[in-house]
Amino acid sequence: MSWFSALYRSAVGKKAVMAVTGIILFGFIVLHLIGNLKLYEPGLYKAPGETGPGVRYINAYGLFLRHVGEPALPAYGALWIFRIVLLVAVILHIWAAWQLTLMSRAARPRAYASRPKIHTTYASRTLRWGGVIILLFVIYHLLDFTAGTVNPGFVEGDVYRNVVASFSRWYVSLFYILAQMALGLHLYHGLWSLFQSLGWNHPRFNHWRSGFAHAFAWIITIGNVSFPLAVLTGLVHK
Amino acid sequence: MNLTLHVWRQKGPADEGRMVQYEVKDVSEHASFLEMLDVLNQQLIGRGEEPVAFEHDCREGICGSCGFMINGDAHGPMPGTTVCQLHMRHFKDGDVLHIEPWRSRAFPVLKDLVVDRGAFDRIIQAGGFISVATGEAPEANLIPVPKPVADRAMDAAQCIGCGACVAQCPNGAASLFTSAKVSHLNLLPQGQPERFDRALSMVEAMDREGFGYCSNHAECEAVCPKEISIDFIARMNRDYLKAKAQRGMKTPLQT
Amino acid sequence: MATTTLDSRIPPGPIEHKWDEHKGHLKLVNPNNKRKFTILVVGSGLAGASAAASFAELGYEVRCFCFQDSPRRAHSIAAQGGINAAKNYHNDGDSVFRLFYDTVKGGDFRSREANVYRLAQVSLNIIDQCAAQGVPFAREYGGLLDNRSFGGAQVSRTFYARGQTGQQLLLGAYQALEKEIASGKVRMFPRAEMLDVVIDGRGRAVGIITRDMVTGKIDRHAGHAVVLATGGYSNVYYLSTNAKGSNVTAAWRAHRRGALFANPCYTQIHPTCIPASGDYQSKLTLMSESLRNDGRVWVPKQPDDKRRPDQIPEPDRDYFLERRYPSFGNLVPRDVAARNIKHVVDEGLGVGPQKNGVYLDFADAIQRLGRKAIEERYGNLFAMYEKITGEDPYVVPMRIYPAPHYTMGGLWVDYNLMTNLTGLYALGEANFSDHGANRLGASALMQGLADGYFVIPYTIGDYLSGHLGEKLSTETDDFRRTEAEVQERVNRLISIKGTRSADSFHRELGRIVWEYCGIARNAAGLQKALQLIPALREEFWSNLRIVGGPDQLNQELELAGRVADFFELAELMCVDALDRDESCGGHLREEHQTPDGEAQRDDEHFQFVSAWQWNGVGKTPTRITEPLEFEYVKPTQRSYK
Ligand SMILES: Cc1cc2nc3c(=O)[nH]c(=O)nc-3n(C[C@H](O)[C@H](O)[C@H](O)COP(=O)(O)OP(=O)(O)OC[C@H]3O[C@@H](n4cnc5c(N)ncnc54)[C@H](O)[C@@H]3O)c2cc1C
Ligand code: HEM
Ligand code: FES
């Protein structure tokens, strides 16, 4: 791993690590959204050959995630690989964010009396605190839907029920929505910024880098915000 | 016009420093910002007070000596303009202006608005050159340079090394400065042999000097008096990462 | 004692072989011995940086000094137009001989032929060197170097990097210098002002005394040779196109120690600068000469014409350059244009709020070529003009007025660039240079780099080789005495405690020099100046006020030291201008004009270099002459009718 530490030593290297881990996390978020959209799939899903009444699509999707790769992999095998990659990515991302933040603090020990004007986007200024909100949210999210500790009457495997139960409480929905906005802002700058960090620039595609970032920031935010709203408005119900 | 100035006064590197208020009267709108300070300084000398120290030389926006913050803007409110080229017609009667030196760990304040930018020279020492001793050069036209490449290199080479990019950057990063020099030389055919060493050494020198890191806020580009593009930062990052990949991720030989 | 015979050491033989022959016979320092020599280079402009880097590459130990915070900020950075070289890339008949010829003629036959020829020869190597360093010169579509014609030259021999040629060339030299700093061969001393040169008992330069501009500490530096590349002295006029810090101190201190100062009255006034806008004016900004290619110079025929320029009909305008010089028109040389502009303004025909300019009008060119073409040619200049004046030159004609720009005079040097003091060299604008009485556009950059890259690295070895094994020491009486004198002078300036700032004296001095030793001079005016200047100098030494002490960053003290030297220089300029009872190049004595108002040389009596020897403050200096011979370019009378 000496190549990694050599790279990681420099600020540019740290940023590259942030960008790559950011891409991994972004990929997860996209898949997560696609998965969650199953919440809107009407009717019940019956696996081929299954005889019962079937299950909600989103529950079936959860089941799928737990068993994907079988029999080549044991049950939960692929899911765990996936979770480990995500965990490493999250740790590296946060670790780098932390170190870079310290670096930036150290670089200006004395603040300006008159705050420097902001000439460019405000989104870029929200990355740090936005990241913290996202982190808190992720922890809550895991306790809510994975461990179930903070979910009222949690039923393992019944994703649909758990979601409806959690979002029926307006304050949980509100927190969820706020966190999604933080994520949206994070992506609004982050998805553009990663091109810079990794040196992916060319006059031919430079102009659509920010288009890409803005489009996905909106897609992710609108998509994710729609779930609590759908529950609160009764569009999705028990 | 009459102005109220709050100017950072600091006797020397060890002094705490403080903002001091001054009134300047009857400023001509045709004077430059530095000429306005000249007028203030003559008044201060008349009163037996020490004049405000600020750095300046060419007063044509090219030497990069001048520069300080005016109300939170490096080089003041006009884009693409150094303070020596900033004229008072862009201000109005009664304005209150806060004038502060560049703030960066790598640029210690020496006195009032004067800071030490030696860190920039040391970044250049790390690799901001093409190794060609006097007399070694081949006939100039043996190295054709496509016009668009030469133009692009010139866009980067215009940097005047004033430090505004560092001053405005929320992270106190020197990425725009460093990337401008890396790109100027790395774009040109003459710069190819040392391209990757240069990127590695200069990026690492930048960290050593205590500058911050780049969040791609693009504040530097917004205040750069030569309007140098942050595209060059991406270029520098690319050359650095490529270099790391090629060198088996080992630290480079220090130049 | 310093030698006072002027041996210019011009090698014998035909002019095209002199330099090669000379190089072939210069003594060499063995590569292993080079590191035993320390060379002090004062100045990091084109001349200083190129010399310091080249010395280090050869293996010498170098110390380099500049007063800015970084060597990259030397005044050379401000040069816009370009650099000449006889590459003949355009196949338009250029050659080393033609560049030599043009430079000698442009200098109005007051330069040394051998030096100028060498300059033209090495101009070729300069471009090669700079291109290899990565100077982003303008290119043609084929990728080869582009040239333009500049300053009225008949051939295209000017290489350029947008409007920032000086910047790019200096960055090239600076980068080479930084490389050597990194390698440890050069120790750089930024923010260090040289305040004196140390001369030993045998009249040899053995070191310098500097002041650390942050702490105020006075330091001694010993070297086997001292190289001054400290730039020109146009700031004696207060308002000039030079950077605010440009000064004569280093050269002047050397002069006071015995170095001869040559042709101090040869100054170049550039015709196209933005006029002063008020009494707070701190410097003047040059507008490129190239503007005269398309702009037409005029003034209203009526003094005090209150109409807007575009409301003044053709018959009420005087295109005075076109009228007086039908064949060259607006493209007459710098000195001719400058004189004529001053003349009409003095007659009360000036325009603008201060009535201190003439119009440079692009209306015709815009109509003929379209706004776009003008934008392409001069876009950045127009933008700069608008930034400074707040007026849009596409709509309102520009206003211009001449300003001091370059000084051809400087320390006298021989063919090896050594002053009359052994071991003391002068390069770049600081020496009396290869430009005679007038410098052509784009040739100062060429000279600075020629001196630094391709002349001094050879010639210095010839001197050093004779001094192998000599130990350096700053613990000598010469150092101690000189340091004490420097310290004493600093204390003296600080302790005057009068009422006037250094700046106010500088302004007043500048006005006197501009008035009486500026664009045009006459005996009565010069005599008057020679009374005014000493009187003001005396007031300076009794009524100066410096706030703040010596042991700190003190910009007032720095300025006061420089102004003190400008006073003495100003006097010498006037003495020289009075003494040179002829007109030549930039030196126009009103008593000596052709019927057309052209500079009238007096070759019979003045075909020589005047090198002045210092005799003390207020004492008449001694003139020593170096006769000039013209074997290859026969002196003729310039005419631009
Ligand atoms: C606005 C402008 C435009 C120009 N355009 C052109 C052009 O297009 N083409 C052309 O050929 N020429 C041009 N010139 C002229 C040319 O730029 C200069 O003549 C040339 O650059 C001088 O170079 P130099 O190395 O001799 O001195 P400078 O570049 O002036 O350097 C002087 C150095 O000496 C140092 N120094 C001075 N005094 C001291 C001291 N006492 N102690 C320590 N260090 C000291 C300074 O710090 C600096 O490093 C222009 C000049 C001006 C003003
Ligand atoms: C789902 C989760 C996340 C995704 C998709 C994501 C994505 C990204 C991306 C793409 C970037 C840009 C990287 C670059 O400029 O190269 C970024 C930057 C950043 N992220 Fe995240 N991130 C996530 C979570 C977090 C968390 C939990 C934190 C912190 C606690 C965090 C803190 C930051 C910070 C501080 C930056 C800015 C770094 C800088 O200043 O340049 N992120 N993120
Ligand atoms: S003083 Fe030179 S850039 Fe402002």
Judgement on whether residues C360 and C453 belong to the same structural domain of the protein: no
Q: Taking the C-alpha atoms of C557, C561, C567 and C573 in order, what is their torsion angle to the nearest 10 degrees?
A: -140
pLDDT range class, residue C376, cuts 50, 70, 90: confident
Angle CA A28–A29–A33, to nearest 5: 120
Residue pair B205/B123 in contact (Cβ under 8 Å)? The answer is yes
For residue C9, being part of any structural domain is answered with no
In sequence order, what are the residues at sequence separation of 6 or more whose Cβ sits closer than 8 angstroms to the Cβ of residue A142? none
**What's the A19 CA to ligand 2 centre distance in angstroms?**
8
Judgement on whether residues B137 and B206 belong to the same structural domain of the protein: yes
CATH architecture type of domain A10-110+120-232: Up-down Bundle (1.20)
For residue C518, being part of any structural domain is answered with yes
> So what's the pLDDT on residue B255?
41
Interface list for B 103-142 with A (CB within 8 A) = 103-106
For residue B156, being part of any structural domain is answered with yes
For residue B255, being part of any structural domain is answered with no
Q: What percent of chain C has pLDDT over 90?
A: 90
| Residue after which a domain boundary falls, among B77, B110, B143 | B110
Tell me if chain C has a CB within 8 Å of the CB of B24.
no
Q: Which range (B249-253, C3-7, C264-268) has the least confidence? A: B249-253
Interface list for B 139-158 with C (CB within 8 A) = 139-141, 143-147, 150-151, 153-154, 157-158
Judgement on whether residues B41 and B133 belong to the same structural domain of the protein: no
Query: Does the pLDDT at position C62 exceed 80?
Result: yes
For residue C46, being part of any structural domain is answered with yes
For residue B189, being part of any structural domain is answered with yes
In sequence order, what are the residues at sequence separation of 6 or more whose Cβ sits closer than 8 angstroms to the Cβ of residue C14? none
The CATH number of the domain holding residue B203 is 1.10.1060.10
* Sole residue written with tokens 């009565």: C524
Q: Where are the alpha helices (DSSP H) in C470-554?
A: 477-495, 502-517, 523-543
Judgement on whether residues C258 and C112 belong to the same structural domain of the protein: yes
Sign for the pseudo-dihedral over CA of B128, B131, B136, B142: negative
For residue B253, being part of any structural domain is answered with no
For residue C5, being part of any structural domain is answered with no
Q: Taking the C-alpha atoms of C578, C260, C170 and C137 in order, what is their torsion angle to the nearest 10 degrees?
A: 60
In ligand 3, the atom with minimum distance to the C-alpha of C73 is 2
**CB-CB: which of B19, B73, B218 is closest to A120?**
B218
* Mean pLDDT score, C378-382: 88
Q: CA-to-CA distance for B209 and C13, rounded, in angstroms?
A: 55
Task: Count chain A–chain B contacts defined by CB atoms under 8 A.
Answer: 155
For residue B252, being part of any structural domain is answered with no
For residue C219, being part of any structural domain is answered with no
**Taking all residues of chain B, what is their mean pLDDT, rounded to a whole number?**
96
Judgement on whether residues C165 and C274 belong to the same structural domain of the protein: no
Long-range contacts of A100-103 (CB under 8 A, 24+ apart): A100/A11, A100/A14, A100/A15, A100/A18, A100/B171, A100/B213, A100/B215, A101/A128, A103/A11, A103/B171, A103/B212, A103/B213
Which tokens is A124 given? 């870029």
Judgement on whether residues B87 and B124 belong to the same structural domain of the protein: no
The CATH number of the domain holding residue B39 is 3.10.20.30
Q: Taking the C-alpha atoms of C65, C69, C72 and C76 in order, what is their torsion angle to the nearest 10 degrees?
A: -80
pLDDT tens by residue, B186-220: 999 999 999 999 999 999 999 999 999 999 999 99
Query: Nearest Cα to C249, choosing from C492, C564, C480?
Result: C564
* Interchain CB distance below 8 Å, A7 and B244: yes
> So what's the pLDDT on residue C2?
43
In ligand 3, the atom with minimum distance to the C-alpha of B61 is 3
Q: How many independent structural domains does chain B possess?
A: 2
Q: CA-to-CA distance for C294 and C369, rounded, in angstroms?
A: 10
Query: Nearest Cα to A104, choosing from B164, B170, B219?
Result: B170
Which tokens is C236 given? 């004696």
Residue pair C364/C296 in contact (Cβ under 8 Å)? The answer is yes
Q: CA-to-CA distance for C516 and C14, rounded, in angstroms?
A: 42
> So what's the pLDDT on residue B226?
97
Judgement on whether residues C447 and C487 belong to the same structural domain of the protein: no
Residue C452 CB less than 6 A away from ligand 1: no
Residue pair B77/B90 in contact (Cβ under 8 Å)? The answer is yes
The CATH number of the domain holding residue C104 is 3.50.50.60
For residue C363, being part of any structural domain is answered with yes
* Mean pLDDT score, C460-474: 96
Residue C268 CB less than 6 A away from ligand 1: no
Residue C177 CB less than 6 A away from ligand 1: no
For residue C573, being part of any structural domain is answered with yes
> So what's the pLDDT on residue C3?
45
Tell me if chain C has a CB within 8 Å of the CB of B110.
yes
pLDDT tens by residue, C223-257: 999 999 999 999 999 999 999 999 999 999 999 99
Query: Does the pLDDT at position C95 exceed 90?
Result: yes
**CB-CB: which of A108, A127, A199 is closest to B241?**
A199
Query: Nearest Cα to C435, choosing from C111, C42, C152?
Result: C111
| Residue after which a domain boundary falls, among B110, B142, B177 | B110
C160 in helix, strand or coil? coil
Q: CA-to-CA distance for B164 and B172, rounded, in angstroms?
A: 10
> So what's the pLDDT on residue C4?
54
Q: CA-to-CA distance for A150 and B84, rounded, in angstroms?
A: 62
Domain holding B227, by residue range, is 117-247
pLDDT range class, residue C327, cuts 50, 70, 90: confident
Q: CA-to-CA distance for C464 and C207, rounded, in angstroms?
A: 14
In ligand 3, the atom with minimum distance to the C-alpha of B83 is 4
> So what's the pLDDT on residue A42?
84
Judgement on whether residues B124 and B215 belong to the same structural domain of the protein: yes
pLDDT range class, residue C595, cuts 50, 70, 90: confident
Domain holding C143, by residue range, is 22-208+224-233+242-266+408-467
Judgement on whether residues B166 and B129 belong to the same structural domain of the protein: yes
Transcribe B159-219 into DSSP letters. Answer: -----HHHHH-TT-B-HHHHHHHHHHHHHSGGGGGGHHHHHHHHHHHHHHTT-B------H
pLDDT tens by residue, B18-63: 999 999 999 999 999 999 999 999 999 999 999 999 999 999 999 9
Q: CA-to-CA distance for B203 and B179, rounded, in angstroms?
A: 8
> So what's the pLDDT on residue C637?
81
Q: What percent of chain B has pLDDT over 90?
A: 96
pLDDT range class, residue C391, cuts 50, 70, 90: very high
The CATH number of the domain holding residue C597 is 1.20.58.100
Judgement on whether residues C450 and C499 belong to the same structural domain of the protein: no
Which tokens is A107 given? 């670089």
Which is more confident, A49 or C503? Answer: C503
In sequence order, what are the residues at sequence separation of 6 or more whose Cβ sits closer than 8 angstroms to the Cβ of residue C484? none
Which is more confident, A54 or C321? Answer: C321
In ligand 1, the atom with minimum distance to the C-alpha of C49 is 25
Q: How many independent structural domains does chain C possess?
A: 3
* Sole residue written with tokens 């705050």: A115
Q: Which chains does chain B touch, 3 or more C-beta pairs < 8 A?
A: A, C
* Interchain CB distance below 8 Å, B60 and C168: no
Angle CA A42–A45–A46, to nearest 5: 155
Q: Ligand 2 pocket by C-beta < 6 Å: which residues? A: A 15, 18-19, 22, 25-26, 29, 93-94, 97, 100, 127-128, 131-132, 134-135, 186, 190-191, 193-194, 197; B 215-216
First to last CA, chain B: 53
Residue pair C292/C330 in contact (Cβ under 8 Å)? The answer is yes
Judgement on whether residues B123 and B232 belong to the same structural domain of the protein: yes
Pocket test for ligand 2, best of A193, A201, A210, A212 (most atoms within 8 A of CB): A193
> So what's the pLDDT on residue B246?
84
pLDDT tens by residue, C596-609: 778 899 999 999 99
Sign for the pseudo-dihedral over CA of C308, C314, C320, C326: positive
pLDDT tens by residue, C188-209: 999 999 999 999 999 999 999 9
Judgement on whether residues C567 and C450 belong to the same structural domain of the protein: no
* Interchain CB distance below 8 Å, C145 and B136: no
In sequence order, what are the residues at sequence separation of 6 or more whose Cβ sits closer than 8 angstroms to the Cβ of residue B205? B122, B123, B125, B126, B127, B178
Judgement on whether residues C94 and C80 belong to the same structural domain of the protein: yes
Fill in the DSSP letter of residue B89. Answer: G
Fill in the DSSP letter of residue B138. Answer: P
Pocket test for ligand 2, best of B171, B215, B220, B233 (most atoms within 8 A of CB): B215
Q: CA-to-CA distance for A145 and A50, rounded, in angstroms?
A: 26
> So what's the pLDDT on residue C5?
64
For residue B254, being part of any structural domain is answered with no
* Mean pLDDT score, C78-95: 95
Nearest protein CA to atom 53 of ligand 1, as residue: C242
Judgement on whether residues C86 and C145 belong to the same structural domain of the protein: yes
For residue C629, being part of any structural domain is answered with no
Query: Nearest Cα to C358, choosing from C317, C394, C389?
Result: C317
**Taking all residues of chain A, what is their mean pLDDT, rounded to a whole number?**
93
Query: Does the pLDDT at position C1 exceed 70?
Result: no
> So what's the pLDDT on residue C525?
98
Judgement on whether residues B97 and B124 belong to the same structural domain of the protein: no
> So what's the pLDDT on residue A1?
60
Told to judge if C307 belongs to the known catalytic residues of this protein, a careful annotator would answer: no
Judgement on whether residues B153 and B232 belong to the same structural domain of the protein: yes
Residue pair C39/C60 in contact (Cβ under 8 Å)? The answer is yes
* Mean pLDDT score, C157-169: 95
Chain A residues touching B171 at Cβ < 8 A: 100, 103-104, 107-108
Backbone angles phi, psi at A214, to 5 degrees: -65, -40
* Mean pLDDT score, C578-606: 93
A206 in helix, strand or coil? helix
Residue pair C428/C231 in contact (Cβ under 8 Å)? The answer is yes
Q: What is the pTM of this model?
A: 0.96
Query: Is there an interface between C and A (3+ Cβ pairs < 8 A)?
Result: no
Could you tell me which chain A residue has the CA closest to the CA of B71? A114
Judgement on whether residues B102 and B151 belong to the same structural domain of the protein: no
> So what's the pLDDT on residue A45?
87
What ipTM was predicted for this assembly? Answer: 0.97
The CATH number of the domain holding residue C320 is 3.90.700.10
Q: Where are the alpha helices (DSSP H) in A10-158?
A: 11-36, 57-67, 77-107, 127-141
Q: CA-to-CA distance for C317 and C298, rounded, in angstroms?
A: 6
Backbone angles phi, psi at C541, to 5 degrees: -75, -5
* Interchain CB distance below 8 Å, B58 and C244: yes
| pLDDT (tens place) for every residue of chain A, 238 residues total | 678 888 999 999 999 999 999 999 999 999 999 999 999 988 888 878 888 888 889 999 988 888 888 889 998 999 999 999 999 999 999 999 999 999 999 999 999 999 999 999 888 899 999 999 999 999 999 999 999 999 998 998 899 999 999 999 999 999 999 999 999 999 999 999 999 999 999 988 988 999 999 999 999 999 999 999 999 999 888 7
| Residue after which a domain boundary falls, among B66, B91, B110 | B110
Chain B residues touching C282 at Cβ < 8 A: 32, 34-35, 38, 59
> So what's the pLDDT on residue C578?
98
Which tokens is C584 given? 């030549």
Query: Does the pLDDT at position B148 exceed 90?
Result: yes
* Interchain CB distance below 8 Å, B157 and C128: no
Q: What percent of chain C has pLDDT over 70?
A: 99
Q: CA-to-CA distance for A122 and C629, rounded, in angstroms?
A: 72
Describe the crossing of helices C15-25 and C96-106 by its angle, rounded to 10 degrees. 100
Which tokens is C533 given? 């200047």
> So what's the pLDDT on residue A69?
87
Strands (E), chain B: 3-9, 18-24, 69-70, 73-74, 96-100, 109-111, 114-115
